[in-house]
Amino acid sequence: MVPFHEVFVGSRCNLQCRQCAARASGVAGRSKSELIAAMSAFTEPREGVLLSGGEPLIRSDIIELIQAARELGFPRIRLRTNGTPLADPRFLHHLLSAGCQHFEIKLFAGEPRFHDRISGVSGSLEQTWAGIELLRRAVIPGRRDQQPFVGILIPLREDNVTILPETILALVALRPDRIVLSWEIATESVSRTLPAIRNAVNLALLNRTWMLTENIPLCLMKDLEVHVAELYLPPRTSHEQVTQCRRCVFREFCPGIPSRSLKTRLSQEIKPVSTSVHLEAIRSLVRGRRIRHENGYEADGEAG
């Protein structure tokens, strides 16, 4: 997987999601010059840049920012978005023409009652779904029928884990390139919801859809360890190993748990793994990833 340097554009958004980390940052917006300077500060080779918020697509200068990223030498530009603005086909065409070909759509559930309650805006799921459908039918201008990369990010919360199976089954029909389940609520018990998470991973695999989990340590993902996102890329937030990690066979690969969870139930749920039949396979996977990265080659549908 290609590493993407993340640039936070500000917390302004067209939704009113509960427990929004972007809004809690207190940074409503950043100027175009600030954002270009932030992208310029990344060392070369600049493989990918991710514009996140808030909602990046409500910025009036988003096309200019994408063009600036291209001029700075980023071959891959990703937008993390709630997807609602993508329901406008003309706007989507402008984004693709400007050079953005990677999209990570943040979605809470595949059922409006749940998604719209969390997003705080009635009808938001319908718009997000329309945006995803347009993306799946879109073709990158001038690229011989090549389609944009479509990833789905599902922040796991106490109020959407219960309907994960329905959400996954609805999503796989749209043929996303990847789904990421991200554990977001530090105060909740992961162990209590692990059966639903594991079921979701298996449902995606049965439907030939690649899925990763984020912020869930390897020790809790028995037999599904290769679906832990941190094996492929550094964690998006700061992680730390706890005392139990020192006795775990995965300690050289697993960064531990999110720092925000150190004093919560998650730190108490860690159970060090003493032996694993998957250890060598995981070691080879990590080694192979490093070699591919050093040689400038990545293979999970994100190389273009």
What's the pLDDT tens digit per position in 127-158?
999 999 999 999 998 887 899 999 999 999 88
For residue 300, pLDDT over 50 is answered with no
Non-local CB neighbours of 54 within 8 Å, separated by 6+ positions: 8, 9, 10, 11, 12, 13, 22, 23, 29
pLDDT at 264: 80
pLDDT at 172: 95
Stretch 189-209: mean pLDDT? 92
Stretch 159-176: mean pLDDT? 93
Other CB atoms within 10 Å distance of the CB of residue 144: 6
Three-state helix/strand/coil letters over the chain: CCCCEEEECCCCCCCCCCCCHHHHCCCCCCCHHHHHHHHHCCCCCCCEEEEECCCHHHCCCHHHHHHHHHHCCCCEEEEEECCHHHHCHHHHHHHHHHCCCEEEEECCCCCHHHHHHHHCCCCHHHHHHHHHHHHHHCCCCCCCCCCCEEEEEEEECCCCHHHHHHHHHHHHCCCCCEEEEEECCCCCCHHHHHHHHHHHHHHHHHCCCCEEEECCCHHHCCCCHHHEHHHCCCCCCCEECCHHHHHCCCCCCCCCEEHHHCCCHHHHHCCCCCCCCCHHHHHHHHHHHHHHHHCCCCCCCCCC
Query: What residues does each domain of the chain span?
Result: 5-238
In Å, what is the CA distance from 39 to each residue of 81, 125, 159, 188? 19, 31, 36, 35
Mean pLDDT lowest for which of 153-162, 213-222, 250-259, 294-303?
294-303
For residue 301, pLDDT over 80 is answered with no
For residue 303, pLDDT over 50 is answered with no
Question: Where residue 261 falls among pLDDT bands split at 50, 70, 90?
Answer: confident
pLDDT per residue as tens digits for the range 16-70: 998 788 887 778 889 999 999 999 999 877 889 999 999 999 999 999 999 999 9
Cα–Cα dist 278/244, whole Å? 20
Residue 81 pairs in a beta bridge with 105
For residue 251, pLDDT over 70 is answered with yes
pLDDT per residue as tens digits for the range 95-125: 999 999 999 999 999 999 999 999 999 999 9
Candidate CATH numbers 3.10.290.10, 3.30.565.10, 3.30.420.40, 3.20.20.70; the one for domain 5-238: 3.20.20.70
For residue 298, pLDDT over 50 is answered with no
pLDDT at 192: 85
pLDDT at 294: 53
Stretch 74-99: mean pLDDT? 96
Calculate what percentage of the chain has a pLDDT beyond 90. 70
Mean pLDDT lowest for which of 15-24, 96-105, 199-208, 212-221?
15-24
Predicted TM-score of the model (pTM): 0.91
Question: Where residue 126 falls among pLDDT bands split at 50, 70, 90?
Answer: very high
pLDDT at 304: 39
pLDDT at 249: 95
